[in-house]
Structure 1
Amino acid sequence: MNSYDLIIIGGGPIGIACGLEAKKKGLNYLIIEKGAIVNSLFNYPSNMQFFSTSEKLEIDGIPFISKEAKPKRNEALEYYRRIVTSNDLNIHLFEEVNSVEKENNQFKIKTGKDSYVATYIIVATGFYDIPNLINVPGENLPKVTHYYKDPHFYARQKVAVIGASNSAVDAALECYRKGADVTMIVRDSEIGERVKYWVRPDIINRIEEGSIKACFNSEVKEIKEHTIIVNTPEGIIEIENDFVIALTGYMPNFDFLKKIGVVLSDDEKLYPQYNEGTMETNVKNLYLAGVICGGMDTHVWFIENSRIHAKMILKDIISKQAL
């Protein structure tokens, strides 16, 4: 069985930052990622532009040079991939962790490909893999997706975009500009206030001029093969529809955390229990890093404010090894 000082579960930006720090500290480490390098970023929309500026997305002080102040997805993929390759980080890709069990102060990790033993574990799995379902009849139809990639696919189609976050607004605007007939279904009374400040006026203007239709204070009640049923303040309406892009957010894999033994808060936020000074959970030698620390509040932690977790965690691990 392969034995390591540290195994990092998740090869996103924060998992990579943890790997860099572990390598600098001389630990025998391994990053295990179930997809490609920074898999979540890879699955972002093709034309996505970050809210953060490039220097705030940097890890380990490695400069991130982008054409504009706010980089785009492809530039981020290039940046993080180059960090992995140029630093020859020990990372296993397309290998999903199936279980983590603690036995005699060691963690036993089983994946779809192999088994491992480690003294320390960092879980940096993010939140992008499990969508928040809207739980209505027809949500499992082939025309429904909870991920958005490229607007070309929706040209000349009747598209319903559910949500009013950054991703929903980007999808609505891009699909409209590629010739889709777009209707937004928004639960609240307006477009979200956290939408990128240079994009929010654009979507508001497109709605006001009628280029993009919007149903505010509304919810989808049912998705049918050729229509959707929407509950609006004016009553139930049925809208012709070819595709539904339901961008209602995502959540961490709470079941995975619970199986490992991490305690979650008993409210709807499901905050995981950890020491804010070390990032160690209630399970000794098991740490959390990145957005997963925020439970259902997935907007609290992101790359620019959680990249510090790597140094915090490795400092604690090194101090334990010195005892």
Structure 2
Amino acid sequence: MTWMSVPAPEDLAKALDGVGYLADDGLATAAFLSLRMHRPLFCEGEPGTGKTSLATSLAQALGVPLIRLQCHEGIDATQALYDWDFPRQLLHLRALEAASHGELDADAAEQSLYTERFLLARPLLRALREAPCVLLVDEIDRADDEFEAFLLEVLSENAVTLPEIGEVRAEVAPLVILTSNRTREVHDALKRRCLYHWLEHPDLAREVQILKRRLPGISDRLAAQVANAVRRLRAAELLKPPGVAETIDWAEALLALGRTELDAEAAAITLGAVLKYREDADRVRVDLDALLAG
């Protein structure tokens, strides 16, 4: 499937299915509209609901590069857009000085330092240059207001002006996926620029499907047992409820141990695959029968 040959949401869902990502109708439609309307897709949801995996799977399904911008506290335009290779510039300047025998033209030397040769393209600049591609702006809620404003400007124009180089404009708008775990509210101005989709944890049937797709050797019984147990863990008051990735890890751990069912013994020795805080594991171990009931 090529970049613009997706006729309908169900075709995109089928393409995603082909690379191991099971998207429901709502998510497939949102991703399809983002592609067709050239609008970023803003995905919010609890950790582990498949937001980041959506971007990687879209890149695989569409046969285009994935470019990832991981947001963090204090990220700025330089880290996201471009920088200069200062060590190489310094070596170049020294070489010019040596070759000129003390008669270096300062203006010409300065101009030679700020060329493509020494430009370090960061994710946003790469996406504008390499589109068609999928640009994943991961965990935008970790960035600050100033970075949001900068990002909004770039996404609105699909272009940026570098003082030393000039304008860089994408010939084709990249497919932009922004994710947020909602650790803080993202400003309305950025959300208005995007299509929006809230990702829930999959229902029981879909999670069983995911396990069977990702782990072809798993039995129906074990897949159902693991998916049921994870649903109970998500309903408990844990510090970090498990996501789909932990569900897969747990099932894979059981298979690696040669287990064919999830009983209390198997659960006790593999909880580290699904729970990542000691307090959560201790709480669950107190009543494993309740976790495995039904």
TM range, normalised to the smaller chain? under 0.3
Structure exhibiting the larger radius of gyration computed from Cα positions: 2
TM-score, normalising length: structure 1: 0.22
Could you say which structure has the higher strand fraction? 1
TM-score, normalising length: structure 2: 0.24
